[in-house]
């Protein structure tokens, strides 16, 4: 029965091709998967992992986090992960536990903690803010001007990102006579910059859009 449990754990993690390898011959990523399988084989309802992806490169981190998320569904186990990779945790974790000396433990989905302002206040620090529109952290640039963006989807997000990197506060809530229409990916792929005098300039790329904005701001 023990061997069946071990074989099942090996298959769940997808490391059957490593079953006859010695641990010291494995790569860091392979060894991490072996440790996850070992935890599964113990057949406990809760699995505790302490920063298992700390030594992996970015693609492997994503793969490992996705594997843990998938395993939690397949095995109906709670996988408790301590991690400093906030970006991945916010995108993959079902629940976030925030712990500090002032408020103790605050628990909720990443989305609920975003909407009620918990993430913004918890991680508030100079130069870094929690972006409510994207649900991720971003560098808080100092803005020298601002501009309104009309649109949605990926084009809106990419224009906003480029402008804010260049010191221009940009979103749909800004009040300004100058504004940008991004449309969406189903449109003709252009961006339209509307100036104060009512003139409109149409460009094909964000690079061209930034060059035109410099002329009027």
Q: Is the pLDDT of residue 95 over 90?
A: yes
Looking at residue 54, its pLDDT comes to: 45
Q: Which residues of 22-40 are buried (b: 16+ CB within 10 A; e: fewer)?
A: eeeeeeebebbbbebbebb
Of 152 and 212, the structure prediction assigns the larger pLDDT to 212
Q: Is the pLDDT of residue 159 over 50?
A: yes
Residues 184, 189, 193, 198, Cα dihedral to 10° = -90
Coil/strand/helix, residue 203: strand
In this predicted structure, which of 12-26, 36-50, 172-186 has the lowest mean pLDDT?
172-186
Q: What is the pLDDT of residues 115-151, one digit of tens each?
A: 888 887 877 765 677 777 777 777 777 788 999 999 9
Q: Which sign, positive or negative, has the C-alpha torsion 35, 40, 42, 45? A: positive
Confidence of residue 154 (pLDDT cuts 50, 70, 90): confident
Q: Are 107 and 80 in contact (CB under 8 A)?
A: no
**CA-based angle 160:165:171, to the nearest 5?**
25
Q: What is the pLDDT of residues 20-78, one digit of tens each?
A: 999 899 988 888 889 899 999 998 999 988 765 544 665 677 888 889 999 999 999 99
- pLDDT averaged over every residue in the chain: 86
Which residue is it, tokens 């395993």? 71
Can you tell me the distance from the alpha carbon of 77 to that of 205, in angstroms, rounded to the nearest whole number?
A: 47
Ranges 69-73, 85-89, 101-105, most confident: 69-73
Domains of the chain: 2-94 (3.40.50.300), 104-138 (no CATH), 141-216 (3.40.50.800)
């Amino acid at each position: 029965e023990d061997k069946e449990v071990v074989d099942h754990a090996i298959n769940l993690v997808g490391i059957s091709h490593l079953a006859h390898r010695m641990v010291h011959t494995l790569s860091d990523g392979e060894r991490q998967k072996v440790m996850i399988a070992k935890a599964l084989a113990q057949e406990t309802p809760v699995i505790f992992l302490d920063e298992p992806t700390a030594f992996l490169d970015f693609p492997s981190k994503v793969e490992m986090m996705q594997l843990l998320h998938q395993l939690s569904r397949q095995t109906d186990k709670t996988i408790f992960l301590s991690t400093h990779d906030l970006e991945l945790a916010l995108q993959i974790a079902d629940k976030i536990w925030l712990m500090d000396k002032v408020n103790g433990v605050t628990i909720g989905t990443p989305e609920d903690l975003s909407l009620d302002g918990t993430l913004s206040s918890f991680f508030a620090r100079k130069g870094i803010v929690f972006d409510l529109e994207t649900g991720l952290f971003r560098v808080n640039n100092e803005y020298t001007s601002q501009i309104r963006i009309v649109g949605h989807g990926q084009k809106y997000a990419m224009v906003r990102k480029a402008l804010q990197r260049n010191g221009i506060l940009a979103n749909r809530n800004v009040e300004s006579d100058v504004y940008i229409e991004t449309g969406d990916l189903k449109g003709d792929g252009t961006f339209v910059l509307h100036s104060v005098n009512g003139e409109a300039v149409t460009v094909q790329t964000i690079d061209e859009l930034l060059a035109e904005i410099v002329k009027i701001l």
